[in-house]
Amino acid sequence: MPDDTFVPHTMGQQFGRRSWAEPWKIKMVEPIRQLDRAGRERAIREAGYNTFLLRSDDVYIDLLTDSGTNAMSDRQWAAIMLGDEAYAGSRNFYHLEGAIQRRFGYRYVVPTHQGRGAEHLISRTAIKPGQWVPGNMYFTTTRLHQELAGGTFVDVIIDEAHDPTSLHPFKGDMDLAKLEALIARVGPEQIAYVSLAATVNMAGGQPVSMANARAVSELCQRHGIRLFLDATRVVENAFFIEEREPGFAGRSVASIVHEFCSHADGAWMSAKKDGLVNIGGWLAVNDEELFEELRNLVVVFEGLHTYGGLAGRDMEALAVGIEESLEDAYIRARVGQVRYLGELLTDWGVAIVQPVGGHAVFLDARRFYPHLPQDAFPAQTLAAELYLDSGVRAMERGIASAGRDPKTGDHHRPKLELTRLTIPRRVYTQAHMDVVAESVKAVWDARESATGLRMVYEPKYLRFFQAKFEPLAAGETATSEAGGSEAAYSSSRG
């Protein structure tokens, strides 16, 4: 006789909760190992206290980046076998071109080896020396290519984005008044284009609302200025729109992505993130003349316009990845896992950027180490301490990443001094997140004993990738040749 008090699959309700799970299971595994404490001390010392210089064999759980670290699906690996490695006119290019046209809605497509390849091309073609490029917070490679093309980046993100405690639901939004003021000051013809990123990486993976994208687009049209979108994490952005923006509940992320992209004249993407591949990028525009220029330039710097630095198989895997990335169940689990880690840390009182963003949990190094000046590299210190504690690899997103002002040579001094725990897509389990959270908590509990770092080697471009550091002794003060606004940093430290 059936027992009708037993209701399968709803057992969780007895405890007042229903869990969700990833819409996939694991077919292949890659072993990882944890070095002992002495091994970790040696490894981080040899790496100059820069997690970018660690060997991945010495890393236990790798949260350096979500870039190119995705696990591909069985369908994508099958697509790899369908690579058409013809130099010109590979069928895989046409599959990729079709996927981009269909899903993002742009007319003309140029493949690139990764995001910065696309940034290089768009910067060279769309910026005249002396022009300005407003954007919603800088990104390292994006701003560098704008500067190398003779442009000057201007941050026009809303003020809330610089405040790690603000609960604004769309901290990636542009401040229309700041944008208007810049246009009034320099004149619309001196604006190369407006550069809108969704989500905003350096602000904590924070989304841009549809209403803001629409308003920025209308403002640009009024002044005859082009709007280009950095679509690197636009699917994660669409998830937040569905969840938070009135009128979008229940809409598919695919339809939201398509509508969002329609507000821009073109877009580029580092496909190594939301594209669910290990390498790849693209640039797509609606303007035929601009496309002609881009298609000509890509053969100089990347490769022929039907491969742009990619193998045929890479383009095929990306065409499949684009489709998979737009599945609602996938993106819910993806952002859900990041949020799970963020909520554990929040419950334990650890200082993180709120709300938790799409691709990473950002630790607020200012609140970990209020006793360290910004010149002692608090976020770099925190990444090193976390590695020492457990072998978990994070990344600095503070003064080292911000680099120097090319005109004055001084450090840029970002308000946000963050350490990023970046979650690769479809790679780690909830148990890995638990281990990470416990290690972060241990470093939080030991926060008063951190002494900071000094930079002993500094490369010219994108210094955070290759810079080397040494620990400061307890009581030793950091020195900086840049000087300037250290007082401002101290007064705004919470």
Write phi, then psi, for 375 (nearest 5 degrees). Answer: -70, -10
Distance CA(221)–CA(240), nearest Å, equals 26
Q: Looking at beta carbons only, is 138 or 377 nearer to ligand F0G?
A: 138
In this structure, the strands spanning 266-270 and 281-285 are antiparallel
Q: What SS3 state is found at 300?
A: helix
Q: Looking at beta carbons only, is 116 or 305 nearer to ligand F0G?
A: 116
Q: Which of 273, 334, 367, 413 is catalytic?
A: 273
Q: Looking at beta carbons only, is 196 or 384 nearer to ligand F0G?
A: 196
Q: Looking at beta carbons only, is 131 or 270 nearer to ligand F0G?
A: 270
Q: Looking at beta carbons only, is 97 or 230 nearer to ligand F0G?
A: 230
- Per rule CB under 6 A, is residue 67 in the interface with ligand F0G? yes
Distance CA(62)–CA(209), nearest Å, equals 31
Distance CA(80)–CA(25), nearest Å, equals 20
Taking 3-state DSSP, the helix, strand and coil percentages for the chain, each rounded to the nearest 5, stand at 45, 15, 45
Is-contact 171 209, C-beta < 8 A?
no
Comparing C-alpha atoms, which of 282, 224, 236 is closest to residue 260? 236
- For residue 60, indicate whether it is catalytic: no
Size of interface with ligand F0G, in residues (CB under 6 A):
15
> What binding mask, one character per residue, do residues 149-178 give for ligand F0G by CB under 6 A, x or -?
------------------------------
Residue from 34, 101, 141, 451 in contact with ligand F0G (CB under 6 A): 141
DSSP assigned state of 157: B
- Give, as ranges, the residues between 105 and 134 that touch ligand F0G (CB under 6 A): 114-116
Using CA atoms in the order 389, 340, 271, 416, what is the torsion angle rounded to 10 degrees? Answer: -60
In this structure, the strands spanning 227-230 and 132-135 are unpaired
- For residue 4, indicate whether it is catalytic: no
- Give, as ranges, the residues between 257 and 286 that touch ligand F0G (CB under 6 A): 270, 272, 281
H or E stretch at 101: helix 91-104
- Measured from the CB of residue 216, what is the shortest distance to ligand F0G in angstroms? 17
Q: What SS3 state is found at 267?
A: strand
Q: Which of 230, 265, 274, 314 is catalytic?
A: 230
- Measured from the CB of residue 308, what is the shortest distance to ligand F0G in angstroms? 12
- Helical segments of 305-429, H only: 312-325, 328-347, 365-368, 378-390, 399-402
Residue from 90, 125, 152, 201 in contact with ligand F0G (CB under 6 A): 201
- For residue 457, indicate whether it is catalytic: no
> What binding mask, one character per residue, do residues 314-353 give for ligand F0G by CB under 6 A, x or -?
----------------------------------------
Q: Looking at beta carbons only, is 232 or 447 nearer to ligand F0G?
A: 232
- For residue 230, indicate whether it is catalytic: yes
- Per rule CB under 6 A, is residue 209 in the interface with ligand F0G? no
- Measured from the CB of residue 241, what is the shortest distance to ligand F0G in angstroms? 17
- For residue 87, indicate whether it is catalytic: yes
- Per rule CB under 6 A, is residue 139 in the interface with ligand F0G? yes
Distance CA(105)–CA(254), nearest Å, equals 11
Q: What SS3 state is found at 206?
A: strand
Q: Which of 33, 45, 87, 128 is catalytic?
A: 87
Q: What SS3 state is found at 62?
A: strand
- Per rule CB under 6 A, is residue 419 in the interface with ligand F0G? no
Q: Which of 93, 170, 464, 489 is catalytic?
A: 464
Using CA atoms in the order 97, 149, 265, 251, what is the torsion angle rounded to 10 degrees? Answer: 70
- Measured from the CB of residue 440, what is the shortest distance to ligand F0G in angstroms? 19
Comparing C-alpha atoms, which of 206, 138, 118 is closest to residue 167? 206
Residue from 96, 122, 174, 197 in contact with ligand F0G (CB under 6 A): 197
Q: Which of 334, 366, 397, 425 is catalytic?
A: 397
Is-contact 212 180, C-beta < 8 A?
no
Residue from 69, 146, 217, 232 in contact with ligand F0G (CB under 6 A): 232
Closest-CB residue for ligand F0G?
115
Is-contact 292 274, C-beta < 8 A?
no
Contacts with ligand F0G by CB under 6 A lie at 65, 67, 114-116, 139, 141-142, 197, 201, 230, 232, 270, 272, 281
Active site residues: 87, 139-140, 230, 273, 397, 464
